[in-house]
Amino acid sequence: MQALKGKVSLITGAGNGIGRGIALRFAAEGAMVGVLDIQPDACQRVVEEITQADGQAVALPADVTRADDVRAAVRTLTERFGSPTVLVHNAALMPSGTLDQTSEDVWDRAFAVNVKGAYLTSREVVPLMRRAGGGSIILMASITGTNGLPGLAAYSATKGALIALARAMAIDYARDGIRVNAVSPGTIDSPMLHTFVAAQKDPEETRRAFDEVQPRGRVGTIEEVVNVFVFLASDQASFVSGANYAVDGGASIKGDQPRL
């Protein structure tokens, strides 16, 4: 049985990496997917992948920091498939640096994409979900939002904000039947990790260190993260709201992380 049959879903940052994985799997589970990304070509590629597999999707090239873009994307999705009852805000930037190494522009842009993007997309879909009698909003956080990671000050701060926002929205919209949860992956084998590793002085050693410090002796896979999103978007999670799901193989318990 398909877990998300007939659910209209909006996924931000769906052109690459984990967001792409969520979009492909949601479509395979029967959802109609709005593939939103700032990279139009990436949006189009993912939509083609979905339609070739007999799924339903629409490309929504948009910048999540721009209210007009977000409004237009939600309008296009609604005209095509109906009002969204699932929102995944996954788009993010991950600037590295301690606080004093982070410029004001980099700080502002990280908060604009990671946090304001959640605000703008949620602001558009909440009234639609309320009218539909409910929905599921899932904010992509990170282990850094609770634990912090060395050299990721702005990123960690944005992810902590998303966890707090999920809890605040969960309470505010509980009576509307809108569930809001955060998901906090640990280190995942993904393009974001590959880019980060490639930028280090010794990429091979950095990659080895990432695996070495994990309780499981390895980083997670995109599919392992996607599984949790499918659950939270589905009716199986009908009483789950305000949670922050760690998908980190126990890394947040173990505590020690590589100094990069």
Ligand X SMILES: NC(=O)c1ccc[n+]([C@@H]2O[C@H](COP(=O)([O-])OP(=O)(O)OC[C@H]3O[C@@H](n4cnc5c(N)ncnc54)[C@H](O)[C@@H]3O)[C@@H](O)[C@H]2O)c1
Of 8, 115, 140, 178, the residue at the interface with ligand X (CB under 6 A) is: 140
Taking CB under 6 A as the rule, does residue 147 contact ligand X? no
Give the chain as a 3 state SS string: CCCCCCCEEEEECCCCHHHHHHHHHHHHCCCEEEEEECCHHHHHHHHHHHHHCCCEEEEEECCCCCHHHHHHHHHHHHHHHCCCCEEEECCCCCCCECHHHCCHHHHHHHHHHHHHHHHHHHHHHHHHHHHHCCEEEEEECCCHHHHCCCCEHHHHHHHHHHHHHHHHHHHHCHHHCEEEEEEEECCECCHHHHHHHHCCCCHHHHHHHHHHHCCCCCCECHHHHHHHHHHHHCHHHCCCCCCEEEECCCHHHHCCCCCC
Taking CB under 6 A as the rule, does residue 137 contact ligand X? no
Give the x-and-dash track for 95-124 against ligand X (CB under 6 A). ------------------x-----------
Catalytic residues, by residue number, are: 155
DSSP conformational letter for 98: -
Taking CB under 6 A as the rule, does residue 94 contact ligand X? yes
Of 96, 121, 122, 142, the residue at the interface with ligand X (CB under 6 A) is: 142
Q: How is residue 3 written in tokens?
A: 């877990």
Cβ closest to ligand X, residue 113 vs residue 228: 113
Cβ closest to ligand X, residue 130 vs residue 221: 221
For helices 40-52 and 17-28, angle between their N-to-C axes, nearest 10 degrees: 30
Taking CB under 6 A as the rule, does residue 91 contact ligand X? yes
Cβ closest to ligand X, residue 19 vs residue 160: 19
Q: Which of 222, 221, 229, 241 is nearest to 87 (CA)?
A: 229
Taking CB under 6 A as the rule, does residue 252 contact ligand X? no
Size of the site for ligand X (CB under 6 A): 29
- The answer to whether 139 touches 166, Cβ cutoff 8 Å, is yes
Of 3, 15, 27, 121, the residue at the interface with ligand X (CB under 6 A) is: 15
CB of 223 to ligand X, least distance (A): 13
CB of 238 to ligand X, least distance (A): 25
CB of 65 to ligand X, least distance (A): 5
Piece of 26-34, 44-52, 57-65, 206-214 that binds ligand X (CB under 6 A): 57-65
Taking CB under 6 A as the rule, does residue 243 contact ligand X? no
Taking CB under 6 A as the rule, does residue 34 contact ligand X? no
Residue entry with tokens 């991950």: 94
**By beta-carbon distance, which residue lies closest to ligand X?**
17
Piece of 48-56, 169-177, 182-190, 209-217 that binds ligand X (CB under 6 A): 182-190
Q: How is residue 236 written in tokens?
A: 């199986």
Which chain residues interact with ligand X by CB under 6 A?
12-13, 15-19, 37-39, 42, 63-65, 90-94, 113, 140, 142, 185, 187-188, 190-193
